[in-house]
Amino acid sequence: MSKKTYVMKTSEIINLGIGLEIHFCLDAADTNAQFTMFKVVIHPNAKVPAAHYHENFDETIYGLKGSLTLIVDDQIITLGPGDYQFINRGSVHNLINQTDEIVEILAFANPGIFTANYFKDLLGVLKVGGPPDKAKLNSIMLQYGLIPVSS
């Protein structure tokens, strides 16, 4: 029987500069592509990703702090601390912080094909300044299996 090695890791923080901070905890390489885990800090009036769905992974969101409005397949859900929502691949969803307080959630994507590189690539477009290039943002979403949906 082989001995397993466990590694403690510090979150990689990706500040998108639009009221969203991503604290990437476990990437695909850390979990043998079983899942990824990241904390999202959502400031009031944050610019959040467009409504979208995932082709190749499911997502579970767990509330840590504050009250988040989550819209899944046209159903409006309020997610508070200790609440969770499983989002099947193919379910259209987005999230909104409609409060004056910071909201924090923990997100799990499985299998672990979704990586921190998605947020790093978004940051590359957002750092350019001025209004973001929506075509480039949509292209990045598509590259990582997030399919944007027009509202």
- The residue extents of the domains of the chain are 12-148
* pLDDT digits 0-9 by tens, 100-148: 999 999 999 999 888 899 999 999 998 877 788 889 999 999 999 999 9
Q: Say if residue 1's pLDDT is above 60.
A: no
Closest CA to 34 of 115, 145, 109: 109
Nearest to 61 by CA among 79, 36, 41: 79
State the architecture of 12-148 in CATH terms.
Sandwich (2.60)
Tell me the mean pLDDT in the region 31-59: 92
pLDDT at 99: 95
Mean pLDDT of 7-35: 87
* Arithmetic mean of pLDDT, 11-34: 90
Give me the pLDDT at residue 3, please: 62
pLDDT at 50 over 90: no
Closest CA to 40 of 57, 54, 19: 19
Q: Is the pLDDT of residue 4 over 70?
A: no
- pLDDT at site 37: 95
| Residue 89 near residue 83 (C-beta atoms within 8 A) | no
Mean pLDDT of 10-31: 89
- Percent of the chain residues past pLDDT 70, beyond the cut: 94
Q: Is the dihedral of CA 110, 55, 23, 87 positive or negative?
A: negative
